Structures are given as C-alpha cells and as structure tokens.
Structure 1
Amino acid sequence: MVEFAGLFPLILVVFAAIWQCIVIGYGFYLAGSAADRGARAAAGASAGAAEAACETAALEFVPGGWDASVSCPLDGDLRRATVELSVPVLFPGAFNLPVTIPGTAATTEEGP
C-alpha cells in the first residue's frame, strides 16, 4: 500500500504527459485540416469574397475552446491559407501554452 501511495502521483504525471502529447497531435491535425478547408473554400469563391470564405471555412472546422487565427493571402496565383492554433494545457478552453501550432495549405485560384 505504501508503494502504491508513493507511485500514484508519478503515474498521474505520466498519464497527464501522455494526454498532453495527444492534445498536441490533435492540434496539428486540426490546424492542417482547417487550413486545407479554408484554401479550398477560397479557391471556389469570387475574388472579393475569397479571404472571408477562407476564414469562415477554416474556423468552422476548429471546435470551440481552441484559439485560432486564420490568414488567407493571395501569393501569385496561389491562395495560401495559414491557421495557427494555441496549444491548450490538457484540454481546450483552459489555459494555453505559449506555443502555437501552424497549419498551411495552398491551392490555385479558380476565378477569371
């Protein structure tokens, strides 16, 4: 019983570290997928509404509780979507680490 009481906090810390790694991995998935959706939405939109369509589509993919910033500049004939997510501590909606997860995607403009 004494050994269990001594190791239990260590076990909790290990589980918390594993969970934090899972949250970071999920953040990379969210950032990349949101950027991809934003770039695809911008490519199909009219020239004046492409940036708004990109931002709307990208933010719709990111669940609530995650802090995200989206930019969709036109780079030559490519519409490049960049999504940056703040890394939450253990679960979204709590405190954020001072680290952001980037996600980028690009697609060609389809308009005239």
Structure 2
Amino acid sequence: MALPRTGRLDDRGQTVIEFTGTLPLILVTLALLWQAALVGYTFSLAGNAADKGVRAGTVGGQAACQAAAGEDMPGAWAADYDCREEGDTFRTTANVQVPLLFPGGFDLPISIPGEAAAPLESRW
C-alpha cells in the first residue's frame, strides 16, 4: 500500500544544497585561520633569530651574529638581519617576511621585526 501524496515537494537533497552554499565560507574561514597561524609563527621566528643573533654577537661580533641569527630560520622564510654595536650594547634586528598561505611562495608586503639587545661581553 502506497502512502498518499500530500502535494508537497520532497526535501531530499536539501543538505547538499546548503553544504554547497556554505562551503566557500568554510574554506575562507580556514584560510584566514591558517594565515593567522603563519603570522604568529613568523613572530616566533623573528624573536628567536634576534635572540640567537644577539647572544652570538656579544661574544663574536657581527659575523657571528649574522650566522647565528639565520641558523634556525627555515629556508622558505625570507629574512634579513641587522647586527650592530651601540656603545656598550649589542643590538640585533631580524626582519622576517610573512608568507601568504604557504611558505616559499608569495610573501605579504608585511615584515615582522624581532629585536634583542645585550651588553657586550668583551667590555666586562
């Protein structure tokens, strides 16, 4: 025995239509969250590079600073380091470019600075 038809359209497939409509929103949200994680990781890399550079620079000078600052920097991140003496203090600034979605591809026009300073060891 068949059920009587009420004249209403069947709602099968409605979930597929709703998912298809919200899929772009879900993907954009995931991309924004991933980009935020990359910015945070870039902050961490910049700070670590500056810390390592200033630690090496207080004892070994600018060449040691440059080498130590770039030692742990992943190859996909573009960075430049400024190592200098200022009186009795050694300062290092690491400017790291923020990648766009995937490191090694395109970089955003944003550079994250990491700065560190310490007294020179040779003066004490």
Count of aligned pairs: 108
3-state SS of paired residue (2:104): coil
3-state SS of paired residue (1:60): coil
Q: TM-score of the superposition, structure 2-length normalised?
A: 0.85
Cα deviation 1:70-105 (Å, max 9, x = unaligned):
011111111000000011001210100001000000
Corresponding residue of 1:73: 84
Q: Measure, in 2, the Cα distance between the counterparts of 1:44 and 1:76.
A: 15
* Corresponding position: 1:58 with 2:73: no
Q: Which has the higher contact order (CA 8 A, sep 6+)?
A: 1
Q: Measure, in 2, the Cα distance between the counterparts of 1:83 and 1:61.
A: 12
Which of 69, 80, 92 is the aligned partner of 2:103?
Answer: 92
Corresponding residue of 1:33: 48
3-state SS of paired residue (2:102): coil
Q: Measure, in 2, the Cα distance between the counterparts of 1:69 and 1:51.
A: 13
* Identity, % of aligned positions: 49
Structure with larger Rg: 2
Structure 1: which 5+ runs fail to align? none
Q: Measure, in 1, the Cα distance between the counterparts of 2:83 and 2:95.
A: 12
| Segments of 4+ moved more than 6 angstroms | none
Q: TM-score of the superposition, structure 1-length normalised?
A: 0.94
* Corresponding position: 1:5 with 2:20: yes
Which letter does structure 2 place at the counterpart of 1:37?
A: K
3-state SS of paired residue (1:9): helix
